[in-house]
Structure 1
Amino acid sequence: MTRTTPALIAAMALAAWPAIAQDAAAAPDPAAPASAADMAYIFNTLLFLIGGFLVMWMAAGFAMLEAGLVRSRNVTTQLFKNVALFAIAGIMYWLIGYHLMYPPDWTVPGLIGQFFSPRALDAVGAGAARDGYSAGSDFFFQLMFCATTASIVSGTLAERVKLWPFMIFTVILTGLIYPVGASWQWGGGFLSELGFSDFAGSTLVHAAGGFAALAGALVLGARHGKYRADGRIQPMPGSNLALATLGTFILWLGWFGFNGASQLAIGSVGDAADVSRIFVNTNMAACAGVIAAIATTQLLYGKIDLTMVLNGALAGLVSITAEPLTPSIFAAILIGGVGGAVAVAVVPLLDRFRIDDVVGAIPVHLVAGIWGTIIVPATNPDTAFLTQIAGVVAIGGFAFLASLAAWLILRATIGIRVDREAEITGLDIREMGMEAYPDFVQAG
């Protein structure tokens, strides 16, 4: 065995130094502090994920609200529709909708993007701080808005629409109608260039869903017995106001994710302050919607109507969604209060035109959504009233006409309404073959 000299050892170490240095550079020090860009990426991604699962929880809110406001013989059907539409929205938004809404390239500039361009996920471990947030968190968050739009339609058409036509319409709404309309603003389309502003979707989500529901209600018609020949209106009370109240509180909670995460960033002190400001304004608008609904129902009917009060809270939330950041607390209260009062006032107007909206989604989402969008310039000087009106007309007109065409085609081909006997018996038995309350029989 030969002895290694000190000179040889030094020479070998010197030769190996470049490789050692390269390995050290390739392996980051776990104790090294993250850069500001890394921290912003992490917090922004968390905002999207937390906001996304709060909005996802709103699906439970819609399910409970609708289950409580329909009659007991239709509860199972409503619960099924809310599960099914959420699943359909997930698949269709991934397959088509997300890429139409945020197109890398436009097929028709400013109007329609590419149909297929898979980019919903980063590669494993390949997040880039320069992007600001992960692709997956953005897809997850935006998907929840798409599903919310479909939930709005479900309640309006309850107790008389067939299941399969409703699910086919949900495919069209979540895969095409909602993404195309939303791309005009959030995807950099022509409304964005025009200066239209809709922070979290009073019109892009809520009014669009309301217009789709209105089109369906017009084509479908009212429930049998709702509007009598002598002009009287037959009350059809819901089965469980406790569930409806629970659903309202769930929606109220989920709205903090809906509006708060629409700030799209929380990686700086300013963004964090803005998110907290959005939370406060969102909550105060809902409170004002409740108080306004209490006052309005007392004045109009001589007593308080709980279902109207619940919808007053939701109308206040919808109203503030178009601009929850810039208003003062007082302005947020005014915006939400007007939304709650208007939602109550619109209910008898719908009845006058014999438009049967089982859960009041049209007054809450369509009318309050329009109000909230048009009033944005009162607190946000970066847009104008005429621009806001133009945006409402564009989104509303497209959502209504596209939905109307879809419902008319479905009615002419496979039919969209159950027969009278099925409606009297209840959709739970005729469409689902099971009851939500099998130990109880309730007439009416």
Structure 2
Amino acid sequence: MTISMKKTGLAAAAATAVLAIASPAFAQEVEFTGVTPETGYILNSFLFLFGGVLVMWMAAGFAMLEAGLVRTKNVSTILLKNIALFSIAGIMYYLIGYNLMYADVTGWIGSLSLWSADDAAALGGDFSGAYSASSDWFFQMVFVATAASIVSGTVAERIKLWPFLIFVVVLTGLLYPITGAWTWGGGWLSEMGFSDYAGSTIVHSVGGWAALTGAIIVGARKGKYGEDGSVHPMPGSNLPLATIGTFILWMGWFGFNGASVLAMDSGSAIIEMSNVFANTSMAAAGGVVAAIILTQILYKKVDLTMALNGALAGLVSITAEPATPTIGSAIIIGAIGGILVVVAVPLLDKLKIDDVVGAVSVHLVAGIWGTIAVPFTNDGASFGTQLTGIVAMGAFTAIASTIVWLVLKFTVGVRLDEEAEANGADATELGLEAYPEFGKGSQRF
């Protein structure tokens, strides 16, 4: 019998009763007999590869979301940044990042060495390693690019291309792997019992801190804030594109969280993965509904961009622990994330911190909330340890990012000049417009 479709509790009970009457064998307790080591090796490696492809698909989601939320004159530049940062992240994780995060971690840092695949044992018929080394590297690598994508949307429309890419080199090659070594690499936070299933803090808050420091140091876009403290909206170029990007991210998150089970070689692993998938989706749903309701209450109108960010905030919130909550708990966790975004976005504007796509509110604020929420559903986690991890990784990333941003600012410069910003980064840095028919020199027919 193939995998059954979704049933209500009543229908499932009725079906079980009928099967038990028709064939006594169905009434017997099912035992998971496990798989051979080679089969487990294949299944686990496939999980990493397929999950990694889904997470890579999130790069397309970030590109579409950001392209939709920046103005027309900066769309080509933001698209270039997204494909460039993904490529840089992969190269840096190969050159230094993976081993710094996972190889011979002594508590604080791993090995400063080049990564190389070692599947000699499996090639010799020994599958005790449980998965292919390259499949693991690929799955871990696509997470790095996610952290960098958070930064690109926040500082969009006024930062120079090459200083941004230099920052990506440092973030993906050093900063993210170091904090990753403390946690997923088995370092000091892991030994304390810090719990972050798929990276609400390790990926999202780290990217959020890097983005926040960048937004402060680069400064707001010209005309965004008035001298009297007023906020001047700068609508994005394409809300349908931003919506498509959000759906792509939602889909990719099943790889982000689902494959973080890290095994599919047993029935118990598949049950856990099923719970993770369900909770991930319903947390996003909770975030959307909460954002819609709250914007209606506060502004008397529903804000689409807040609904999109509500979905993402729900996803970020559940990422720290998607396995143990009930679906109801997941909806609540996601809904609180959606509420936090609606509150945080205008708060940042009051502080004159210009976050073009709302990434700091989504990834940093909701990431902190999701990490704090873990002990509510996971008895093995403690609030003290969770807060320690949040503060430690936040302080390190904020301080280190600030140093890198300032070095770039006082050497090569990080900001477009006023004329270049007014004309748009597409024209001044790329010489290529995303929508040339809408440009100054276009002809109308």
CA apart distance, 1:270: 0.2
Unmatched runs of 5 consecutive residues or more in structure 2: 1-33, 441-445
Structure-1-length-normalised TM-score: 0.90
Q: SS at the partner of 1:131?
A: coil
Where does residue 100 of structure 2 map in the other structure?
A: 100
Q: Paired residue for 1:303, among 301, 304, 317?
A: 301
CA–CA separation in structure 2 for the residues paired with 1:383 and 1:284 = 22
Which position in structure 2 is the counterpart of 1:8?
none
What are the within-5 Å matches in structure 2 for residues 30-429 of structure 1? 36-103=36-103, 105-106=104-105, 109-123=106-120, 125=123, 128-429=126-427
Larger radius of gyration: 1
Q: Deviations over 1:121-152 (max 9, x none)?
A: 53594574101111010000000000100000
Q: What is the rounded CA distance, in whole Å, between the counterparts of 1:35 and 1:316 in structure 2?
A: 35
Note the alpha carbon deviations across 1:145-189, whole angstroms, 9 max, x for none: 001000000000000000000000000000000000011010000
Deviation at 1:340, TM superposition (A): 0.6
Question: Given that residues 48 and 259 in structure 2 are in contact (C-alpha distance below 8 angstroms), is that contact kept between their aligned partners in structure 1?
Answer: yes
Q: Give the Cα separation in 1 of the matches to 2:353 and 2:329.
A: 32
AA partner of residue 423 (structure 1)? E
Q: Deviations over 1:306-343 (max 9, x none)?
A: 00100000000000000000000111011000001101
Q: For 1:127 and 1:358, how far apart are their aligned partners in 2?
A: 52
Q: Which residue identity lines up with residue 357 of structure 1 in the other structure?
A: D
Deviation readout 1:64-104 (Å, 9 max, x if unpaired): 0000000000000000000000000010000000001102x
Q: Separation in 2 of the partners of 1:376 and 1:439?
A: 50
Q: In structure 2, how many angstroms separate the alpha carbons of the residues matched to 1:396 and 1:175?
A: 17
Amino acid at match of 1:95: L
CA contact (8 A) 1:75 1:428 kept: yes
Q: Are residues 126 and 141 of structure 1, via their aligned partners in 2, closer, same or farther at CA, if it must alter by over 3 Å?
A: farther
Are the aligned partners of 2:96 and 2:115 in contact in 1 as well (CA < 8 Å)?
A: no
Please say if residues 127 and 134 of structure 1, whose CA atoms lie closer than 8 Å, have aligned partners that are also in contact.
no
Q: Any conservation in 2 of the 1:94–1:120 contact (CA below 8 Å)?
A: no
Q: Deviations over 1:9-37 (max 9, x none)?
A: xxxxxxxxxxxxxxxxxxxxxxxxx9611
- Go from structure 1 to structure 2 and tell me whether the alpha carbon gap of 1:127 and 1:167 turns closer, same or farther (over 3 Å shift): farther
Look up the SS of the partner of 2:197 in the other structure: coil
| Equivalent residue letter for 1:72 | T
In 1: Cα distance, 2:95 partner to 2:117 partner: 10
What amino acid sits opposite 2:374 in the alignment? V
Name the SS of the counterpart of 2:436 in structure 1.
coil
- What is the Cα-based RMSD across aligned positions, in Å? 1.4
Q: What is the CA distance between 1:118 and its match in structure 2?
A: 2.6
Give how far 1:53 is off.
Answer: 0.2
Q: Read off the aligned partner of 2:387 and give its amino acid letter.
A: I
SS at match of 1:314: helix
Query: Residues 127 and 116 (structure 1 numbering): CA distance in 2 closer, same or farther, change over 3 Å?
Result: farther
For the residues of structure 2 that align with 1:315 and 1:171, how far apart are their CA atoms? 26
2:35–2:266 CA contact under 8 A, matched in 1: no
**1: CA distance, partners of 2:421 / 2:125:** 52
- Give the structure 1 partner of residue 21 of structure 2: none
Alpha-carbon shift at residue 441 of structure 1 (Å): 3.3
Letter in 2 for 1:338: I
Other structure's SS at 2:437 match: coil
1:30 aligned residue: none
Q: 1:40 Cα shift? A: 1.1
SS at match of 1:99: helix
The 1:121/1:360 distance shift into structure 2, 3 A limit, reads farther
Contact persistence 1:89–1:171 (CA under 8 A) = yes
Counterpart of 1:53 in structure 2: which amino acid?
V
Aligned residues: 407
SS of equivalent to 2:402: helix
Question: Partner letter of residue 55 of structure 1?
Answer: V
Secondary structure of the 1:375 match is helix
Following the alignment from structure 1 to structure 2, what is the Cα–Cα distance between the partners of residues 152 and 366?
Answer: 9
Measure the CA separation in 2 of the matches of 1:72 and 1:126.
56
Deviant stretches of 4+, over 2 Å = 117-128
Check whether the contact 2:35–2:265 (CA below 8 A) recurs between aligned residues: no
Shift of 1:302: 1.0
Paired residue type of 1:367: V
TM-score by length of 2: 0.90
How far residue 399 of structure 1 moved from its aligned partner, in angstroms, is 1.0
